[in-house]
Amino acid sequence: MPVVIGLGGNRWHGRHGRPEAVLRAAAEALADAGLEAVRLSRIRTTAPLGPRQRRFANAAALGVWRGEPLALLVRLKAIERAFGRRRNRRWGPRVLDLDLLAFAEEVVRAPGLAVPHPGLSLRPFALQPLAELWPGWRHPVLNLPARALLIRLMKRRAIDPLPPGS
């Protein structure tokens, strides 16, 4: 099943260094964890959501997963912990954040998991890399391809910028 994982971080890592290098290492960790044919989007530097802090490095990884969505979520959380992720405050600084953005073109709802990611259509830092890797992916709830969602979002932001934290 094709899946898209959002990657982000804004803290240095003792072994990997800068956030951009952390994302590249995380893409390798995804492959080691069973995600096949991993492709990483271009890494972008983006403003943080929420409180003032360092800018984030964001990207997406497209790959093939042969298991269930919850099993993938467990692997993603294990990779975050292996990279030193500690869950404290919402939207706080982090070494690595991995989000399951899309699981094929399916809707998945389970405790602790909502796919497509609920904020996907409102967050350019997640939608841009997804559209770069898989422009024809169709959002199963909004019934629009990734490229159309991105165009709509960018037009909306040009007219009516979203408030911080949205």
Cα distances (Å, whole numbers) of residue 129 to 8, 138, 150: 11, 15, 10
**CATH no. for residue 90?**
3.30.70.560
Q: Please indicate, yes or no, if residue 7 is contained in any of the structural domains.
A: yes
| Position 87 in a domain | yes
Domain limits for position 109: 2-119
Show which residues are catalytic.
85, 94, 97, 99
Q: List pLDDT tens digits, range 9-62.
A: 998 788 888 999 999 999 999 999 999 988 999 999 988 776 667 889 999 999
In the numeric block, the tokens 């990279």 are attached to 83
Q: What is the mean pLDDT of residues 138-157?
A: 92
And the tokens for 73? Answer: 């979520």
52 Cα distance to chain centroid: 20
The pLDDT value recorded for residue 69 is 96
Residue 154 lies in a domain: no
Instruction: Note the pTM of the prediction, 2 decimals.
Output: 0.88
Domain total in the chain: 1
Cα–Cα distance between 35 and 49 in angstroms, integer? 28
**CA nearest neighbour of 133 among 141, 142, 145, 143:** 145
